[in-house]
Amino acid sequence: MKVIVCGAGQVGYSIARYLATEQNDVTVIDQSAELIHKISDSIEARAIVGHASHPSVLEQAGAADADVIIAVTYTDEVNMVACTVAHALFNVPTKIARIRQQNYLQPIWADLFARDHVPIDVIISPEIEVARAVARRLQVPGAFDVVPLGDGAVRVVGVRCAADCPVVNTPLRQLTGLFPDLHIVVVAILRDERPIVPDSDDQMLPGDEVYFVCEASHVSRALSAFGHEEPEARRIVIAGGGNIGMFLAQEIEAHQPGVSLKLIELNAERANAVQQSLSRTVVLTGSALDPEILEEANVRQAETFVALTNEDEVNIIASLLAKRFGAGRTVTLVNSNSYGPLVGQLGIDAVVSPRAITVSSILQHIRRGRIRAAYSLRDGFGEVIEAEAMETSGLVGKQLKDARFPPGTIVGAIVRGKDVIMPRSNTVIQAKDRVVIFATAETVKKIEKLFSVQLEFF
């Protein structure tokens, strides 16, 4: 697949690196010679210094025979024009753009992105995606990551194993015997930042971060098995009234009427604008690092404190302060990769990475085969993929033990109609089954091929 990535910032770099490791033909465009130099030094991709929306630059990048253009520069207008030029002059089939300015995305202007106007096939709004990701974590207390798949029938859940976790030091093959009614499959373990694709003899140890797949109705029971029985938060404090904080507050107001919500925003003008857009949230003007403001927000009584300012350092320190004041749980937005390994050790319960969420949103739209959804785990360790088994797939009619899935993959669940089937070695894949699979980065392309429509079908 030939891909042009416009923008070499954090998201553009991550997408380019991810796709290049899968032997795709990747070209990256950016106006910054420094960022382009970094791409050239660290990724097997072409790198061009230039303006991403200029026809001559896109032509140099190979737009005439590109399959996908992904426009993730820092400027919405450049992203929009790059997609328009790619469509009008080079007929690029798939055009994906990151649009941050919410004014463009209001329903009243929905016709803007019609094919005859600004022809963008997929619009990614990072702020909305991140707010939704945080909302999912709030609904599943005890988890640091939650991903719905199979039209909501299945969840991928990330949890940390404490020393008193009931399932530590137990071989995975014994979990079914210990919890016969618990429908979960452990698909990935991170131990001291080292990723592990577990087999049936592996054990979970204290400090491990574990991803498991389970039926949505079993999430609470699964969390209990891992020693997490935290109640859903009824009192929440949000630090940061930017787009993410405001969208999250709106989401909570719309779907969790019983939640008492306070929001702290440093800028008085922005605080007033946020207050106007919310109906029952108390908005406080001040710094989330100010003990008096934290007292006024009654952080000591909050079950959850969510730090969503534009500054990683503010988010981390504010979360630690909130914990010290007595907040039950902290969810912290962190943009920088360098802070990732540290925050868990500091006692922060869940970290949200806008870059990782945006990358996952883009990946699911460029995966080939019958891939319905894709979610990237921990900076390219692997992906959880939801794929539909077509009648022509060589997987259909075979038991899982005979399906020849490549090493580095684990089948987590099968969604058949409204039923969720937890896989066993003798489970048979049927046509139209949606199969939830964990695949390491090296095996994703093989999974795509397994779920591709075979040519002889036509």
Per-residue pLDDT, 341 = 66
- Bigger pLDDT: 193 vs 256: 256
**Beta-carbon neighbour count of residue 277 at 10 Å?**
14
Say if CB 43 and CB 35 are below 8 A apart.
no
Same domain, 51 and 87: yes
Per-residue pLDDT, 369 = 61
Structural domain contains residue 284: yes
d(CA 19, CA 41): 16
Residue 453 predicted with pLDDT over 60 = no
Same domain, 352 and 374: no
- Bigger pLDDT: 331 vs 372: 331
* Average pLDDT of the residues in 284-307: 96
Number of domains in the chain: 3
Provide the token pair at 292. Answer: 């008096």
Say if CB 454 and CB 431 are below 8 A apart.
no
Q: Which of 190, 192, 182 is nearest to 211 (CA)?
A: 190
Structural domain contains residue 50: yes
Last residue of a domain, one of 327, 356, 385: 356
For the four alpha carbons of 450, 454, 457 and 458, in that order, the dihedral sign comes to positive
Last residue of a domain, one of 356, 380, 414: 356
Per-residue pLDDT, 404 = 82
- Lowest-confidence region among 91-100, 117-126, 208-217, 360-369: 360-369
Same domain, 339 and 393: no
Domain that holds residue 55: 2-124
Per-residue pLDDT, 458 = 28
Say if CB 392 and CB 456 are below 8 A apart.
yes
Residue identified by tokens 């500054």 is 311
Same domain, 375 and 320: no
Ranges assigned E (strand) in 107-234:
122-124, 145-149, 154-160, 184-191, 194-196, 209-215
Provide the token pair at 291. Answer: 């003990």
d(CA 112, CA 116): 9
Say if CB 145 and CB 375 are below 8 A apart.
no
Last residue of a domain, one of 338, 356, 374: 356
* Average pLDDT of the residues in 358-384: 81
| CA angle, 78 then 84 then 90, to 5° | 120
Same domain, 254 and 324: yes
Structural domain contains residue 427: yes
Mean pLDDT taken over the chain: 89
Per-residue pLDDT, 270 = 95
Structural domain contains residue 223: no
| pLDDT tens column, 7-25 | 999 889 988 988 888 788 9
Q: Which residues pair with 265 in a beta bridge?
A: 285
Task: Report how far apart the first and last C-alpha atoms of the chain are (Å, whole number).
Answer: 22
Residue 440 in 3-state DSSP? strand
For the four alpha carbons of 82, 84, 89 and 93, in that order, the dihedral sign comes to positive
Same domain, 333 and 414: no
- Bigger pLDDT: 372 vs 239: 239
Whichever domain contains 113, its CATH number is 3.40.50.720
Same domain, 114 and 44: yes
Q: What is the pLDDT confidence band of residue 379, given thresholds at 50, 70 and 90?
A: low
| CA angle, 23 then 381 then 124, to 5° | 75
Residue 367 predicted with pLDDT over 90 = no
Same domain, 291 and 373: no
* Average pLDDT of the residues in 139-161: 91
- Lowest-confidence region among 98-102, 103-107, 288-292: 103-107
**Beta-carbon neighbour count of residue 198 at 10 Å?**
20
| pLDDT tens column, 319-336 | 999 999 999 999 999 988
Say if CB 414 and CB 434 are below 8 A apart.
yes
Say if CB 123 and CB 139 are below 8 A apart.
no
Say if CB 444 and CB 23 are below 8 A apart.
no
Per DSSP, 171 falls in state B
d(CA 71, CA 120): 10
Residue 276 predicted with pLDDT over 90 = yes
In whole angstroms, what separates CA 409 from the centre of its chain?
A: 19
| pLDDT tens column, 381-427 | 788 999 998 888 788 888 998 888 889 999 999 999 989 999 988 99
Structural domain contains residue 432: yes
The number of C-alpha atoms within 13 Å of 263 and in the hemisphere containing its C-beta is 33
d(CA 95, CA 70): 6
Residue 452 predicted with pLDDT over 80 = no
Residue 457 predicted with pLDDT over 60 = no
Alpha-carbon distance values, 27 to 4, 7, 77, 272 (Å):
5, 10, 21, 44
Residue 116 predicted with pLDDT over 80 = no
Residue identified by tokens 């710094």 is 287
Q: What is the pLDDT confidence band of residue 368, given thresholds at 50, 70 and 90?
A: low
Residue-level length of the chain: 458
Structural domain contains residue 219: no
3-state helix, strand, coil in the chain (%, to 5): 40, 25, 35
Structural domain contains residue 168: no
Same domain, 287 and 367: no
Residue identified by tokens 């093959």 is 173
Say if CB 280 and CB 300 are below 8 A apart.
no
Residue 292 predicted with pLDDT over 90 = yes
Same domain, 117 and 16: yes
Same domain, 240 and 351: yes
Whichever domain contains 452, its CATH number is 3.30.70.1450
Say if CB 385 and CB 147 are below 8 A apart.
no
Residue 342 predicted with pLDDT over 90 = no
Q: Which of 11, 48, 54 is nearest to 26 (CA)?
A: 48
Same domain, 284 and 387: no
Percent of the chain with pLDDT over 90: 56
Percent of the chain with pLDDT over 70: 97
Structural domain contains residue 134: no
d(CA 436, CA 214): 10
Provide the token pair at 5. Answer: 């990535």
Residue 110 predicted with pLDDT over 80 = no
Residue 433 in 3-state DSSP? coil
* Average pLDDT of the residues in 102-129: 84
- Bigger pLDDT: 226 vs 114: 226
